[in-house]
Amino acid sequence: ETCQTIYMRRYRYMLWTRRPRELALQIAFFRSILTTLDAMHARGVIHGDLTPGNICYDSSSRLVLIDFANCHFSDDDKDSKMDIACAEGYSPPEEYASPAMDIWAFGCIVVFTVFGMPLRYWKRAAVIDPLIDSLTQRALELDPARRATAAELLAMLPSLH
């Protein structure tokens, strides 16, 4: 299936009207993103522009990441500056491509999903749930070498059956 043949609903627009408010739905959403990132990173692919606008669902409600125009491969030179610009509000503090940049963007998406605001307006004191606090702390670690991987964040999520 290609993006042209899949019925897509962009998550960004769903957030304004139907943002998942129950923790169980948020966890399922986060699990879908992290599972996708974990598989990509295992294959050396870095999305490079992960935002709510690049998260879609197909007609079977499966999560699909789109817009790989800024993707990098982990064998690229990590010390070189990024020649692309990440979306405002989702770019990490470091200036090179690595899987950690996708994790930073994931942390920003967690904040946006749970609190309905971009990271720059969010106050950590606003965290209500310990799981959300842990996810954001590990995903938004300033040092990319200490930032959690997608697999580590997935392991933090409780299984929902």
Cite the active site residues: 49
CB 136 within 8 A of CB 119: no
- Angle in degrees, 0-180, between the axes of helices 130-139 and 23-42, rounded to the nearest 10: 30
**DSSP 3-state percent helix, strand, coil across the chain (nearest 5):** 45, 5, 50
Q: Rounded to the nearest 5°, which phi and psi values hold at 99?
A: -55, -30
Rg of the Cα trace of the chain?
15
| Residue 78 CA to its chain's centroid (Å) | 20
Beta strands 63-65 and 55-57, pairing class: antiparallel
